[in-house]
Amino acid sequence: MSFTVAIDGPAASGKGTISRAVAARFGFAHLDTGVLYRAVGVKGGDPIAAARGLSAQDLARDDLRTGEAGQAASKVAAIPEVRAALVQFQRDFAARAEGAVLDGRDIGTVICPDAEVKLFVTASPEVRAHRRWLELGGDAGQVLADVRERDDRDMNRADAPLRPAPDAIVIDTSELDAEAAIAAACAAIEARLG
Q: Is 15 part of any known ligand binding site? A: yes
Number of domains in the chain: 1
CATH code, 167:
3.40.50.300
Please give the residue range of the domain that contains residue 77: 4-193
Give 51-55 contacts, CB < 8 A, sequence gap 24+.
51/76, 51/81, 51/82, 51/85, 51/86, 52/85, 54/85, 54/86, 54/89
Length of the chain measured in residues: 194
Q: Is 10 part of any known ligand binding site? A: yes
User: pLDDT 10s digit of each residue in the chain, 194 long?
Assistant: 689 999 999 989 999 999 999 999 999 999 999 899 999 999 989 999 999 999 888 988 999 988 889 889 989 988 999 989 999 889 999 999 999 999 999 999 999 999 999 999 999 999 999 999 998 899 999 999 999 998 998 899 888 889 999 999 999 999 999 999 999 999 999 999 98
Q: Is the pTM of this model over 0.75?
A: yes
pLDDT at 78: 87
Q: Is 14 part of any known ligand binding site? A: yes
Q: Is 17 part of any known ligand binding site? A: yes
Q: What is the DSSP string of 78-131?
A: T-HHHHHHHHHHHHHHHT-TT-EEEEESSIIIII-TT-SEEEEEE--HHHHHHH
Q: Is 9 part of any known ligand binding site? A: yes
pLDDT at 1: 62
